[in-house]
Amino acid sequence: MSTENPVIRSENDSGRETQKRPVGVSVNGPNTFQPGSLARRTGSEHGANHRATSPGAEPQETDAALSTLQQILFGTDRDRIQVLVEDVDSLRHRIDDKEAFALAIAPVLGDAIRRQIHESRNEVIDALYPIIGQLVVRAVTEAMRDLARSIDERIQAATNFQRISWRLRSQITGVPIGELALRSGMYFSVEEIYLIHRESGLLLWHATANQNERSADSDLVGAMLTAIREFAEQVLGGGGEDLHHIRFGNRELIMEFARHSYVGVLLNGVVPEKFRWQLHQRIFAFEDRVRPYLQNYSGEALPLSEAASREFRSFLSIGAEFTQ
């Protein structure tokens, strides 16, 4: 194929031969054609050409034919270019709008990171370690500083008697005085108390720290607790062992058992060491008071409420006592 531009030969009004290039073909070849310049250039050239080749034709018809030719030759490209221009504008707009840009790339970025971690875990760890390591060190340092400050504040705020008590306990147990002070400051509260007939799972008494919170299903809770206890005993036990606690997040249900009844205490925070022993003592004290009644329990819980309240209600405010 020749590299020369095709040439149409014709004569102008003066009879001089002129060289005409086909429409849409530039002097630099078809690949360098600029659509924007098409109308201007072809308009002037075509006018001369038209007069030269078809002197009797109407200019409007020629323009229409040229327009049709343009449409045939460049219509598809023009539409594509229009779409591309719109896409570029849209992208430019999204890049300029930082929030929209972040929103657009977030899912892809997440997938990319996940994929990268999955495929090159070690490389990712190596890359992140300097940053993460520093963050962890800083967080731990800060936490340790808070801890030291908290211990110091508690020791400063403690009465002489408490300090003597901690010192004595520290000497006896070997636990540093700072740790004893810290332990005494840990959050702890009793939320609900369930006193339950051991055999039947019937609720004997119930109390809650939040008086406004009505616990309508306490007897169902008591029964289900008994069922869960029986289930655990059958499946996991076998040696006459009882289920003593259930933990869920920061909440814990502690259970202590006597012969005919058991107490379940729902609490929040870190359980103090002596709390469990106190609970154990109280459930036995309760049974001592009402043993004949419990031995032949007929389902009437009312006569037990006074004894139960006497033994257990104080636990609802005992958290404060333990945190002293």
Interface ranges with another protein (CB under 8 A): 197-203, 217, 219-220, 223-224, 227-228, 230-231, 233-234, 298-302
Nearer to another protein, 25 or 223 (CB): 223
Angstrom distance (rounded) from CA 203 to CA 262:
10
Nearer to another protein, 49 or 218 (CB): 218
Nearer to another protein, 56 or 299 (CB): 299
Nearer to another protein, 204 or 254 (CB): 204
Q: Which of 277, 278, 304 is nearest to 289 (CA)?
A: 304
Give least dist CB 301 to another protein, A: 6
Give least dist CB 202 to another protein, A: 5
Give least dist CB 311 to another protein, A: 20
Nearer to another protein, 58 or 217 (CB): 217
Give least dist CB 174 to another protein, A: 44
Give least dist CB 190 to another protein, A: 24
C-alpha distance from residue 35 to each of 6, 38, 42, 86, 107 (Å): 19, 5, 11, 17, 39
Give least dist CB 227 to another protein, A: 5
Give least dist CB 215 to another protein, A: 13
Contact 101, 94 (CB under 8 A): yes
Nearer to another protein, 27 or 216 (CB): 216
Give least dist CB 189 to another protein, A: 26
Angstrom distance (rounded) from CA 8 to CA 63:
19
Nearer to another protein, 154 or 198 (CB): 198
Contact 149, 185 (CB under 8 A): no
Contact 163, 155 (CB under 8 A): yes
Nearer to another protein, 87 or 199 (CB): 199
